[in-house]
Amino acid sequence: MGQLIAGARGAGTGEGDLSGKRAVVVGMARSGVAAARFLARRGAHVTCNDRRAEGDLGAARAELDAAVAAAGPLAGTVEWRCGGHPAEIFRDAELVVVSPGVPADLPVLHQARAAGASVVGEVELAFRHLRAPLVAITGTNGKSTTTTWAGDMLQRAGKDVFVGGNLGRPLLEAVDRERPPDVAVAEISSFQMEWVARFRPQIAALTNLTPDHLDRHGSFEAYRAAKLRVFARQRGGDAAITPFGFEDHFVESDQDHFRFRLGDKVRPGASAQGGEIWLLGMPRTEAERYDARSVRLPGAHNLENALVAVLCARLAGAPADAVARSLAEFGGLEHRLELCGEIDGVRWFNDSKATNVDSTVIALRSFEAPLVWIAGGRGKGAPYAPIVELLGGGRVRAALLIGEAADEIAAAVGVAAPVERMGDLGRAVARARQVARPGDVVLLSPACASYDQFNNFEERGRRFRELVRALRTVS
């Protein structure tokens, strides 16, 4: 099978000389630092802006100052204006780059656009300068696993692959290299899609779509519209990958449309049934078959992730043997149903990346053993009712709740399982040790964001691992 993007140089168009351009970067987390570094190293005059005080941004400032110093005399200038978003720094800006965590309704952003500035996100800026084919993967759940898995398949084929985006490494890192990668595989979030204009991946995939981030987008319809922008500018020769049965009205151009599902075969697309993965109707091939039983990751949701990864990788040029090796050997991600250890016959799983209700539903369905479930954090506006039917019949010995959403979750699930409010993760882990019995699973699957008690879900997951490790030491 030939790949869809064979010989492609990249989708970006370039934006000409950035030297001397007046730019403001809003939000100085990872993507903001990457954008400021990229612009300053190309001679732009960059104002770094964040609602946090400058004293809270020491690490970001040190990283950026070092990068600009290393660029030498051709570098632009960098200044910092923090502790809010003063209107005066946006008045003369020609370019404003917005980090994903910055609210899209921030008034100064719309004022800057009205004054003639180009207002874009880091992903859009990266796309405009990217000189490599782009595979963009979005969805409510599974996008991190699928992105990493597709990248693994391509790397096993000997390709120089950038894997990142919302996954951790800003997409601009694929641009800011001495030579471009053979292909860039990027996880794309709904937040990142709010500030795109020309973004056009040659392969775009949607893993699934359920309510999430309603606290940010306001409605499922707005969230859905943001996600589907990943397909909006595709054209002939590009590929759109969606779940089977997904409405087709978003496909407004003549890109190739591939579907996937668990069950009956799909043409063109991918399916899994009876221990086999089938690809049908792909470019220059009639049919391909892979062993679904070789997939290491548990759960039907990971089989769906495998289908999307296989489609992306094959279309991007990974040969069948590299795909087959990856299906059998890929071990998954940190913080996603990650086995942290077994203590006295109890297995402890870290699913800290389950930051929404649907992710936790998937996690709960992945186990048949009795569960001690640790959940909670900062809610995102979605109801917890879908979890209730998975907790009854004695399947969950206890729901140990932490964080701001503990009371709300307790009110929803208390009819189906014993509920205990634990306050923080340390107390919840200690209580889980007391409650769990040999053969049980202790599952951290919060169904909530982490920002009430942690900086991000990674920090929450690492803390859980540390607590489990401490239990193993004293057991």
**C-alpha distances in Å from residue 154, one per residue of 149, 150, 200, 419:** 9, 6, 20, 45
Which range, of 83-87, 146-150, 237-241, 283-287, averages the lowest pLDDT? 283-287
The reported pLDDT for the residue numbered 426 is 97
In the predicted model, is pLDDT for residue 68 greater than 80?
A: no
pLDDT-derived band at 1 (thresholds 50, 70, 90) equals: very low
- pLDDT number for residue 62: 84
pLDDT at 2: 42
Which of 44-58, 240-254, 306-320 shows the lowest per-residue confidence on average (mean pLDDT)? 240-254
Candidates 45, 85, 143, 380; catalytic one: 143
Query: Does the annotation mark 213 as catalytic?
Result: yes
Are 304 and 337 spatial neighbours (Cβ–Cβ below 8 Å)?
no
| Mean pLDDT for the chain overall | 90
Inform me whether the pLDDT recorded for 9 exceeds 60.
no
pLDDT band, very low/low/confident/very high, at 29 (cuts 50, 70, 90):
confident
Alpha helices in 115-249 (DSSP H): 122-129, 143-156, 172-175, 190-193, 214-217, 220-228
pLDDT at residue 45 above 90? Answer: yes
Q: What is the pLDDT of residues 398-445, one digit of tens each?
A: 999 999 999 999 999 999 999 999 999 999 999 999 999 999 999 999
DSSP 271-338: EEETTEEEEES-TT-SEEEEEGGG--S-SHHHHHHHHHHHHHHHHTT--HHHHHHHHHH----TTSSE
| Residue 113, pLDDT score | 93
How far apart, in whole angstroms, are the C-alpha atoms of residue 300 and residue 283? 27
Q: Give per-residue burial for 82-97: e unless 16+ CB within 10 Å, then b.
A: beebeeebbeebbbbb
Active site residue 143: yes
Average pLDDT over residues 98-118: 92
Q: Are 254 and 247 in contact (CB under 8 A)?
A: no
Q: What pTM does this model have? A: 0.77
Q: What is the pLDDT of residues 129-168, one digit of tens each?
A: 999 999 999 998 889 899 999 999 999 999 999 999 988 7
For 404, list phi and psi in degrees, rounded to 5: -60, -35
Region 303-309 average pLDDT:
97
Which pLDDT value is given to residue 174? 95
Active site residue 456: no
pLDDT over 90 at 315, yes or no: yes
Share of the chain above pLDDT 70, in %: 94
244-287 pLDDT, tens digit per residue, is 988 665 555 678 999 999 999 999 999 999 999 999 999 878 79
Q: What is the pLDDT of residue 167?
A: 81
Banded pLDDT at 366 (limits 50, 70, 90): confident
* HSE (side-chain half, CA atoms, 13 Å) at 18: 25
166, 302, 305, 350: which is the annotated catalytic residue?
166
Percent of the chain at pLDDT above 90? 68
Structure tokens at 2: 């030939």
Q: Is the pLDDT of residue 337 over 60?
A: yes
Quick one: average pLDDT of 108-129? 95
* pLDDT reported for residue 47: 96
pLDDT reading at 60 higher than 70: yes
Q: Where on the phi/psi map is residue 419: left (φ > 0), alpha (ψ -120 to 50), or beta?
A: beta
The whole-angstrom separation of Cα 307 and Cα 279 is 9
